[in-house]
Amino acid sequence: MVKKQSSMVLDMRTMFHCSIVMLFLGGLATLSFYGNYNQELVSSNIEVTLSTTTTTTTITSKSNSDTADIDTNNETNTNTNKAAQVFDHQRRLKIASPSITETCDFFSGQWVYDNKSHYPLYKEDECPFLHGDLACQTYGRKDSKYQRWRWQPHGCDFPRFDGKAVVERLKGKRLLFVGDSVNRNQWDSMMCMLYSAIPGEKKLGVGLNRTLYTFRANDYNISVDYYWAPMLVESNGDDPSNHRLDHRTIRVKSIEKHARHWVNADILVFNTYLWWRLPIIKLLKGPGSLLGGPNQVYDEIDNVRAYKMVLETWSKWVHTNIDPAKTKMFFMGLTATHSNAMDWGGKKQQTCYKEKEPVMVDGFWESGTDPKMLRILESSLSKLKAKGVNVQLLNITQLTQYRKDAHPTVHRRLWRPLSEEQKKNPQRASDCTHWCLPGVPDIWNELLLAYIFPTTESASQ
């Protein structure tokens, strides 16, 4: 009986010791797994920086001040160029709960007149850095109803602009708009939206031969920039002052001249469309001048094919140089150009001049917007997403179609005086491409901010 009890005790001790050994080995295996996993995450945290030297003109503005001081200084980024990296775009952690941007289609909706809402988001004369091309009230527009329309998605809502909250979340970040003058229009809007929300000193800098505009709030280390690259690749429109030409010439695979100035942004917002509306695009084949000359050798192709080729060049650059784990990327949809009043039942030869109401026909589409271009853009972004790079399309195309009332027309700073013929026919001299501020681009930025800082509930909730 004693021997049997001793045997049972021995067996229990053996089982106990075996359990301890198994637990110890299991713990080592778990630590090894998580150690390797974390090492993989750290090794994928690649940074691309850039070295540039610019001469910058700086306009300084302080809160509660009606004056601006102008001075000139040299700014040098001390970051150094690194070789282009190919990122492992497929390895990404999933974030749990869906945000309002995933459950709400922000781009299907209608414009609602709402003079009780918080629109306009700012006053024109309270934004000292606003370009005169967009300051419609300053240049003679009498009506202001265009400032008070609210975009209302069907069946849901999006977070409305909260300046203080946005400023806090933009601390330490560089937000960069890249593209043509419509993207500059959106940058102007964002700058004015943030201007009154950021306390302390704000500065506007202009550099890189006037291709780069920088709005800085030093106290918060916020930079909201705009880079002029109307066709993304090198083109005969690269000079922001001398580009009023009757043709478009590009180097279809040359993007680095511009793109090297984009890599250190935390948020990138691209657009390109307006400059592709001419039917023929010239592809420069040799080293000749983009502005023309006797030795220029080029191919001529249709604009749709050229647009697709340039988006392929841009996509390759994004895939190679930008890590989406570090940089959020967005591409703005096409925007309407209301230059033919017959589209909405107006008379021949008339444009958006003196229009004061949006089009209220659901699904209205004006003749100046080519849907083939939108499909090419959607396809390009879809191919990038399949490779693990998410560039979010902000498809503002339809919501801009309705707003024939929101353009500067003749109420803007003119680069040259109107001729006598233009004065007699202001319809043809009207700008029906850009947008008065405050106005429609403020809505684009509210939608953009909803994607930059996604939430799990809408403002109405």
Catalytic site positions: 181, 431, 434
Q: Which residues of 358-397 are buried (b: 16+ CB within 10 A; e: fewer)?
A: bbeeeeeebebbbeebbebbeebbeebeeeebebbbbbbb
Closest CA to 450 of 158, 150, 104: 158
Angle between helices 303-321 and 371-386 (to 10 degrees): 20
Strand 202-207 and strand 53-61: the pairing is antiparallel
Coil/strand/helix, residue 374: helix
Cα-based distances in Å from 333 to 22, 163, 182: 59, 25, 11
**Six-digit token string for 49:** 């920086």
What is the distance of C-alpha 334 from the center of its chain?
Answer: 12
Cβ-contact 235, 249 below 8 angstroms: yes
Alpha-carbon span 445 to 435, nearest angstrom: 13
Cβ-contact 389, 324 below 8 angstroms: yes
Contact residues for 272 (Cβ-Cβ < 8 A; gap 6+): 179, 180, 229, 230, 231, 232, 310
Contact residues for 268 (Cβ-Cβ < 8 A; gap 6+): 176, 178, 262, 322, 327, 328, 329, 330
Q: Which residues of 126-136 are buried (b: 16+ CB within 10 A; e: fewer)?
A: ebebbbebbbb
Residue 358 corresponds to which amino acid? Answer: P
Cβ-contact 383, 314 below 8 angstroms: no
